[in-house]
Chain A
């Protein structure tokens, strides 16, 4: 493995609560990820984490796209905090990176302008009759996995090592914008070289690739994809990243934002159909994993329970390199044991 350059802020650590978390789900595009996270927290780490049934959106995409006014966002955030308060928790863990940004922003805003906090309390009370306390700690789930990465390592069945070559697998990490670009001090390693995902990759035997467009947008810029006519910009951003990472021959891409993962995955298919181009040597594309999926895979969880069959770029090439056992016949079976449906094959992208 090449020597990792010393980075000034690498050692910067944020405060991450140890236990007793209130989990807020996201509109995740990889449905096995959140279930895997809860399983890892409860069964591997023995943590207390609340998965509240009455939760709802944080308004993040609407808020950042100026279709949801800030007063609404404040009140929605206040309601989610009221659920946390009613359940007796103080450590808030929003699944989505944009939710993490929204909650952090609201709390910071209220800290600097207490009148807005009072306004949020009033709106919530009038609308729902509820009250809330501010969380003592807000951490993204990737922060928590990062925090316990070395505790998880001995439990893992696999390491990020290519079993054919014995060399570390080479990974591109893409950290969602709202994780540390809004409030750098709220991210592990701060904003320029966040350490949250690279720390996991390195701890579990892999090697992190630094490439010129590492910080470029993944293509999930809200204004790029919300308006259908603008989606060319979204594809163009992803394409710029793929072209930049291609010479380094990454084995996989790791993300901590549901949107980043989705666009870096799905647009590979789109580009392959549009331009007959894939960004790996063999035509399968570069697998994209969420950090929950990666953790689950290395712990030995069944890839189809993790939902890897729902990815556009199929993950078998990566699993073969790691040596993960899987049953191809189970790939498209539902919980009933019957095959649900077989997807059409892409024109160019191999599966």
Chain B
């Protein structure tokens, strides 16, 4: 019997658990610090690029846990991961010991870290007014409103104009995050379409540096957003947001395609917040000496061994490595599971 510990029960952790649990003589210990699995996914309404229901995916992922050899430990934060033997002592397999916040220890033959990301705290970009003006919300807040099927402005009326701002906390010197969060561009396109579907009278603007439509179907969505849904895209950053006397949000920007400053008022300003390594990711990557400059996990080789760390038996998958979409996280998790299976063979 081989025991594999997986830390983090998001899409990557559950997917890897289900693949590994299908192997013979295998037990999976799946740890989740929260009281529920799939927390980030549960916040979402619809998924790009096919507008499929996030709730349906949650249901499918939860069903994958319905196996006797997957032991799910909810509300269990793993605070320590250490190898307790050398590879030679155990026939080429390292022994690992994990400890949770209450001091309980767990033994495993391999460890997969899938501790994921946290959303950038938009309060840090104070010039954009999040937490100061009720009309400034994040893409996560809007996703919850989309899920509820109700979008109202700060004074409880149906909004007439909604502005989306890309790259909040990503590709940003001031917040210290130089990397691209990868999913925000297409999320804004998706959300703008959803808003226009729900409120056909609303004007939707997306302010961007450049739009990175890297995935299958993304470029088509972007085109459809313009042609079918009338979403307006403005190439420019928003320098500041302020509340107007009538409770709207005044924004200042520059339309860099026409080279002119721009000022407009909107009912809602939606900040497309990027990804940062979760606290669990930062703790474990630093503890295991595999943290990059931001605290994301680094791997042995980005091309051929992108789930392996320098320590045999310690693997990483999903958005604890870098910002990643859900479908990429799932693919990455299956890849990690195969690597672990090969290692334990």
A8 and B131 contact, CB distance less than 8 A: yes
Interface 1/0s, chain B 236-251, versus A by CB < 8 A?
Answer: 0000101111000010
Which of the 9-residue segments B47-55, B72-80, B119-127, B193-201 touches chain A? B119-127
Of A7, A211, A215, A248, the contact of B132 (CB 8 Å cutoff): A7
Instruction: State whether the Cβ of A214 lies closer than 8 Å to any Cβ in chain B.
Output: yes
CB distance from A54 to the nearest CB of B (A): 41
Question: What 1/0 flags go to A151-169 for Cβ under 8 Å of B?
Answer: 0000000000000000000
Chain A residues near B132 (CB, 8 Å)? Answer: 5-7, 193, 210
A-B contact count (CB 8 A): 35
Q: Is the CB of A190 within 8 A of B126?
A: yes
Residue of A nearest to B251 (CB): A212
Q: Note all chain A residues with C-beta closer than 8 A to B242.
A: 210-215
Contact of A7 among B126, B240, B243, B250 (CB under 8 A): B126
Interface residue from A8, A213, A248 paired with B126 (Cβ < 8 Å): A8
Residues from 1 to 25 in A contacting B, C-beta threshold 8 Å: 5-9
Q: Is the CB of B245 within 8 A of A8?
A: no
Bitwise, B207-243 to A at CB < 8 A (1) or not (0) is 0000000000000000000000000000000001011
Q: How far is the CA of A230 from the CA of B274 in the complex (A)?
A: 42
- Listed A/B pairs (20) with beta-carbon separation below 8 Å: A5-B132, A5-B133, A6-B131, A7-B126, A7-B131, A7-B132, A8-B123, A9-B126, A192-B126, A192-B240, A193-B126, A193-B132, A211-B245, A212-B243, A212-B244, A212-B250, A214-B242, A215-B240, A247-B245, A248-B245
* Cβ–Cβ < 8 Å partners of A247 in chain B: 245
Nearest CB in chain B: distance from A184 CB, A: 9
A193 contacts across to B, CB distance below 8 A:
126, 132
List 16 other contacts, CB 8 Å, given A192-B240, A248-B245: A5-B133, A6-B131, A6-B132, A7-B131, A7-B132, A8-B123, A8-B124, A9-B126, A190-B126, A192-B127, A193-B126, A210-B132, A210-B243, A212-B250, A214-B242, A215-B242
Instruction: Tell me if B131 and A5 are in contact (CB < 8 A).
Output: yes
Q: How many residues of B contact A (CB 8 A)?
A: 13
| Interface size band for A | 10 to 19
Chain A residues with CB under 8 Å of B131's CB are 5-8
Q: Which of A204-220 contact B (CB under 8 A)?
A: 210-215
Set of chain B residues within 8 Å of A248, measured between Cβ atoms: 245
The closest CB in chain A to the CB of B122 belongs to A8
Rounded to whole Å, the gap between the CB of B121 and the closest CB of chain A is 8
Chain A residues within 8 Å of B243, by CB? 210, 212
* Chain A residues positioned under 8 Å from B126 (CB to CB): 7-9, 190, 192-193
Q: What CA separation (Å) do A198 and B236 show in the bound complex?
A: 31
Residues in B whose Cβ lies below 8 Å from that of A214: 242
Cα distance A210–B245 when bound, in Å? 10
Closest Cβ–Cβ distance, residue B54 to chain A (whole Å): 29
Q: Taking CB as reference atom, which chain A residue is nearest B248?
A: A212
CA distance A192 to B133 in the complex (A): 14
Q: How far is the CA of A212 from the CA of B133 in the complex (A)?
A: 11
